[in-house]
A = this chain, B = another copy of it.
Amino acid sequence: MVPHVVIIGGGFGGLYAARRLSRGHVRVTLVDKHNYHLFQPLLYQVATAGLSPGDIATPIRSLVSRQSNLEVRLGEVTSVDLAARTVTLKDGQLAYDYLVVAAGVSHAYFGRAEWERFAPGLKTLDDALELRRRVLTAFEEAETEEDEARRQELLTFVVVGAGPTGVELAGAISELARFTVARDYRRFDPRQAKVLLVEAGPRVLSAFDPALSDKALRSLQKLGVDVRLSTRVTDIDARGVRLEGELVAAHTVLWAAGVAAAPLSKTLGVELDRAGHPEVFVVGDLAAIGQPGGGFVPGLAPAAIQAGEHAAENIIALVAKRPTEAFTYFDKGIMATVGRASGIAQAGQLRLSGLVGWVAWLFIHIMYLIGFRNRLLVMIQWAWAFFTFGRSARLITGTSPEALDRTLDVERVA
């Protein structure tokens, strides 16, 4: 009987593990709750209307359709029984000989789960569409609002957390207001929109060299972003954000402050630490979180890819009864953009910033994007946005929670 490998999650870690296992004498089942692989580094561009979902998501099945030892299963994992070696899905069960857990992470609200409703985070495509809906709707409501104070609330956007996602979101929203929709409204000037970026630590992009953090900070300020460093959020509700006393009235609050393992993975992590299961491999962002102190492997795509491929190699070794090897992370560097034509990058001794950093960011992201078609489409849209300041995907779709509430009320009455 050929050993069965179950991989939970079709992100970078899971997908590259699956692909590498084509070399092994195993059969593989890749489980994901979505039918697509998502290029998460560009998710903020969907949230800020720069790209369409289809540009950064590719059906998992089409990525592995030629790999004959692999099956894809659309499903949500509810529990893992490490003793029995089974994975339970909402609609079934899978027995495994080897397990790769690449389930990714979720938002962490530091014990304030009630904030999520008012300040959604950005991890999934549905998150991105919800963020886009909130941002675009705020401008629309500002156009019909008669009360000046209330209008300013609608035009106030608060981003919590100045890591790469927070910085990129704040920069993109500020650009959207100052350039893209600048001429689109008649009753207010979109350039009066306020974008606040709130960070508890003393600098933005703290993973970078302090000199680069400083450059990013100045780029943000040049874009009109009001950056509040060493400032803690003490409360978030429907009216806005409270910052150690000061109340910032804001219609739109976005959360980019922290990630956590999902409850399933948490339990799993504890059990794995206690017992040690050589047939189970944890890779990707989840593994990054798993490290005490968080110092080992960062939650980045290249790290997830390396760890996924490494787990696959070790499984192939175990099946062949060869010794496994310890994982060593090859640091390819880190990079971030801060709006139009400005980025920072560091790798080894190399430091890039400004236009050069931005061009480097651009090429690396195009390179890593899966599929020639996606690369071409994204390049065209970026070129288009660069020259016209336009954003292509400014669509308000989906149902707002309020509209949903209304439906529910109607149903309850009926």
A residues contacting B by CB (< 8 A) are 34-36, 51-55, 57, 59, 61-62, 65-66, 71-75, 91-92, 125-126, 129, 136, 140, 143-144, 181, 183-187, 373, 376-377, 380-381, 384, 390, 392-399, 408, 411
Contacts and interface: CB of A to CB of B under 8 A. Distances in A.
A383 B60 CA distance: 22
A38 B156 CA distance: 29
A162 to B, nearest CB: 29
Given A61-B184, A380-B377, A396 B35 contact: yes
A288 to B, nearest CB: 26
A373 B62 CA distance: 27
A167 to B, nearest CB: 24
Contacts of A34: 395-396
A59 B395 contact: yes
Contact of A377 (B53, B184, B381): B381
A373 B395 contact: no
Given A181-B61, A184-B65, A186-B71, A126 B398 contact: yes
Given A35-B140, A373-B390, 20 more contacts: A34-B396, A36-B395, A51-B54, A52-B52, A59-B395, A61-B184, A61-B185, A62-B390, A65-B183, A66-B183, A71-B187, A72-B143, A74-B143, A126-B397, A373-B381, A376-B380, A377-B381, A377-B392, A398-B398, A408-B408
B126 A54 contact: no
Contact of A35 (B65, B91, B136, B380): B136
Contacts of A183: 65-66
A376 B394 CA distance: 18
B398 A144 contact: no
A392 B136 CA distance: 25
Nearest to A89: B144
A33 B385 CA distance: 26
A393 B144 contact: no
Interface centre among A35, A59, A129, A377 (most CB of B within 10 A): A59
16 contacts: A34-B395, A35-B136, A35-B395, A52-B55, A57-B395, A62-B390, A73-B143, A74-B396, A125-B397, A126-B397, A129-B397, A373-B380, A373-B390, A373-B392, A376-B380, A408-B411
Contacts of A55: 52
Contacts of A384: 373
A2 to B, nearest CB: 14
A414 to B, nearest CB: 13
A395 B140 contact: no
Contact of A74 (B92, B140, B181): B140
A81 to B, nearest CB: 20
A62 B190 CA distance: 14
Contacts of A62: 181, 184, 390, 394
Interface centre among A66, A71, A393 (most CB of B within 10 A): A393
B35 A394 contact: yes
A55 B62 CA distance: 22
Contacts of A74: 140, 143-144, 396
A186 B185 CA distance: 52
Contacts of A75: 144
A397 B53 contact: yes
A411 B409 CA distance: 13
A42 to B, nearest CB: 14
Nearest to A50: B54
Contact of A395 (B54, B71, B377, B390): B54
A390 B125 CA distance: 21
Contacts of A61: 181, 184-185
Contacts of A65: 183-184
A395 B186 contact: no
Contacts of A36: 394-396
Contacts of A187: 71
